[in-house]
Structure 1
Amino acid sequence: MKYIIFILFTVMTNAAAQLMLKQGMMSMGPISFEGANPFVKLLQIVFSPWVFLGLCTFVISMASHLYVLSKVELSFAYPFLSLAYVAVAIFAYFVFREDLNGWRIAGIACICVGTILIAQSGREMDGRRHEDQTASINPDKIGTSEIVR
């Protein structure tokens, strides 16, 4: 649980990147590839300010996620990324005036409950090292399907 700050940083940067990408695509207006070189159009999209900032934020999010994966079990860390759905839905409601109806709120509640349950499962690892909890593959035995603990 001591890496929860890094996990939440990963979630928030992931959500922020989505919002930046949406803003970037909205500011560009409808995209049409008719009469345009697709490669040039793709470069225009990628290097538009909001899209580029969103992509850079994704890189930061991924770097944070890689750090988290080096410290905790994948089955613990990865489900927390679903909280990005929650953050995006809430911020999109306020920033872009997107719909947040009863079905979406129910889905958000389910995601939150599931994430809380997963977080509780991480408490039993606090006293043990992550490396002791996961199987490692011996490079000398690759191809023989032998896993060493």
Structure 2
Amino acid sequence: MTPVSFTCIIIGVLLNACAQLLLKAGVNAVGQFDITAANILPVGFKIATQLPIIGGLALYVVSVVVWIVGLLRVDVSIAYPMLSLGYVVNAFAAWYLFGEVLSAQRLVGIGIILIGVAVLARG
């Protein structure tokens, strides 16, 4: 994998991860709610107008464009597993930003993901 190809893939992964974090921030701002026929439109409107939600969706669009450029240069059998790096980024970002728990079991899983990505990147 060339440096340019690797950069495209990593930027796509990071944009996707950031989009996920923005979506989480947006729904956190809305708060817990029940989905009922009576409140689906007001809650849907409230969600759709949250700036973090809008930003997250916009980042998804940009990440898809960058991802397509990456797929032009890298085999999908290598590129697609690299998306799992997003799990690693989001686990640490969610711990830092949202106070989510990083248990020993999650850290072991993150380690396994990193080993898998390293094996794939070398092959």
TM-score by length of 2: 0.91
Q: Structure 2, unaligned stretches of length 5 or more? A: none
Q: Distance in 1 between matches of 2:45 and 2:97?
A: 26
Which residue of the partner structure matches residue 41 of structure 1?
43
Once the two structures are superposed, residues 79-122 of structure 1 have per-residue CA deviations (whole angstroms, 9 ceiling, x without a partner) of: 0000000000011111111000100000000000000000001x
Structure 2 counterpart of 1:115, from 87, 92, 117: 117
Q: Highest CA radius of gyration, 1 or 2? A: 1
Moved more, 76-85 or 57-66: 57-66
Runs (4+) of structure 1 exceeding 4 A deviation are none
Structure 2 counterpart of 1:100, from 99, 102, 113: 102
The structure in which a higher percent of residues are helix is 2
Q: Please state whether the residue corresponding to 1:70 is helix, strand or coil.
A: helix
How many residues in Structure 1 have an aligned counterpart in Structure 2? 120
Q: Distance in 2 between matches of 1:72 and 1:11?
A: 14
CA RMSD for the aligned pairs? 1.3
Q: Structure 1, unaligned stretches of length 5 or more? A: 122-149
Q: Percent identity, aligned pairs only?
A: 32
User: Is 1:9 the counterpart of 2:17 in the alignment?
Assistant: no
Task: Check whether the contact 2:30–2:46 (CA below 8 A) recurs between aligned residues.
Answer: no
TM-score by length of 1: 0.76
Q: Please state whether the residue corresponding to 1:33 is helix, strand or coil.
A: coil
Which residue of the partner structure matches residue 141 of structure 1?
none
Q: Please state whether the residue corresponding to 1:15 is helix, strand or coil.
A: helix
Which residue of the partner structure matches residue 81 of structure 2?
79
Question: Which one-letter code corresponds to 2:75 in the other structure?
Answer: E
Q: Distance in 1 between matches of 2:103 and 2:78?
A: 29
Q: Distance in 2 between matches of 1:43 and 1:52?
A: 12
